[in-house]
Amino acid sequence: MNQPRLKEFYQKNVTPELLKQFKFKNVHQVPKLEKVVINIGVGEAKENIKALEIAISELGLITGQKPATCRAKKSVSNFKIRENMPIGTKVTLRNAMMYEFLDRLINVAIPRIRDFRGIEPNGFDGKGNFNLGLTEQYIFPEINVEKSDKARGMNITIVTSAQKDEHAKALLDLIGLPFKKRDNK
- 81 bridge partner residues: 76
Give the pTM.
Answer: 0.85
Handedness of CA 40, 143, 179, 30 (dihedral sign): positive
Q: For residue range 148-167, what is the model confidence (pLDDT) as tens digits?
A: 778 888 899 999 998 888 88
| pLDDT tens by residue, 133-145 | 888 878 888 887 7
pLDDT above 90 coverage of the chain, percent? 16
Confidence category of residue 178, pLDDT binned at 50, 70, 90: confident
pLDDT tens-digit map of 20-38: 888 888 888 889 999 999 9
pLDDT single digits (tens) 49-63: 888 888 888 888 888
Between 13 and 2, name the one with better pLDDT: 13
Evaluate whether 5 touches 14 at the Cβ level (below 8 Å). no
Specify the pLDDT at position 92.
Answer: 94
- The overall average pLDDT reported for the chain is 85
Cα–Cα distance for residue pair 29/163, rounded to 1 Å: 10
Report how many helices (DSSP H) and strands (DSSP E) the chain contains, helices first.
5, 5
| Residue 131 pLDDT grade (very low, low, confident, very high; cuts 50, 70, 90) | very high
**Residue from 41, 38, 42, 16 nearest 104 by CA:** 38
Q: Using 50, 70 and 90 to split pLDDT, how confident is the model at 115?
A: confident
- Residue 183's pLDDT is 54
